Structure formats: structure tokens, C-alpha cells
Amino acid sequence: MKKILIALLSIICLIGFSGKVSAADKTSLVLSQSFDTSQIPKEVTVGTSGKFSAPYKGDTKSYDLNIETIFSVSADESSILSVLPNGEWQALKPGTVELGYTFKIPQASLDKYPDLEISIQEVCIYSIGHL
């Protein structure tokens, strides 16, 4: 039963969710959680600081949207690595953290396209330990 429940939860999470456009005069754009993470270091040295960069790389269908990447670590991990939403970080003590990132679209970008309905495709990754 436990394996079935876990499999079901995994399937539900991987499907994702996105809104539907109901107005005929609106154009729909679905944005996914897609980033270029090639510039994020795998390790940093205690006492150093810097700024993470993970530009949005999803398909914006030629719309000029100023998409900003937002970074975070959990509250428990913030004593190891301090991270501001804009990506500025400082390594405080040895340890391992899971860096989270998502994006936001500033209102000024949204205002340029009043007839554009944007949906965000949510992605849920469910990690399974020993069964």
C-alpha cells in the first residue's frame, strides 16, 4: 500500500498544474520552471561570498518579459549559507544546503502585455528514500 501511495503521489506531482484561459481575446503563455544553472558553483568556501546566477531559459514565445530568478535555502540551512532572494550569498560554516530557485515577473513586464494570460507550470519532485 505504501509503494502504491508513493507512486500515486509521484504521478500527481509530475503532471503539473497550469491555468486555463477562458476569455477569447486573451493569448495564453505557459511558463515552466526552467533555468540555466551552469554558473552555480557546486562548492563554496566558508568565509567567501558572491552572487548566484541562474537565468530563466524557458520559452517566452518572443515576449519581452524581464523574468527574475529568486533564490532561497531553508531556515535550517541559512546558518550554513546566507542567501538573499537576488542571489547574493555568504558561506557561513561547513555543511550542505539545497539551493532553491524560482522566478517572478515584475509588474512592469506584465503591464506591457495586458492581453497576455500567463500560467506557471508547477513542478513537484518527490524524492523517495528506502522502501
Q: Of the candidates 59, 54, 45, 61, which has an alpha carbon nearest to the alpha carbon of residue 103?
A: 54
What is the rounded CA–CA span in Å between residue 95 and residue 52? 18
Q: Regarding beta strands 100-104 and 49-51, do their DSSP bridges make them parallel or antiparallel, or are they unpaired?
A: unpaired
Is residue 57, in this structure, part of any structural domain at all? yes
41 vs 22: which has the higher pLDDT: 41
Number of domains forming the structure of the chain = 1
Domain that holds residue 29: 2-120
Is residue 129, in this structure, part of any structural domain at all? no
Asked if residue 3 lies in contact with residue 130, where contact means CB atoms within 8 angstroms, the answer is no
Asked if residue 114 lies in contact with residue 102, where contact means CB atoms within 8 angstroms, the answer is no
**Which class for 121: exposed (0-12), middle (13-18), buried (19 or more C-beta within 10 A)?**
middle
* pTM for the structure as a whole: 0.70
pLDDT in tens, 48-94: 999 999 999 999 999 999 999 999 999 999 999 999 999 999 999 99
Is residue 14, in this structure, part of any structural domain at all? yes
Is residue 126, in this structure, part of any structural domain at all? no
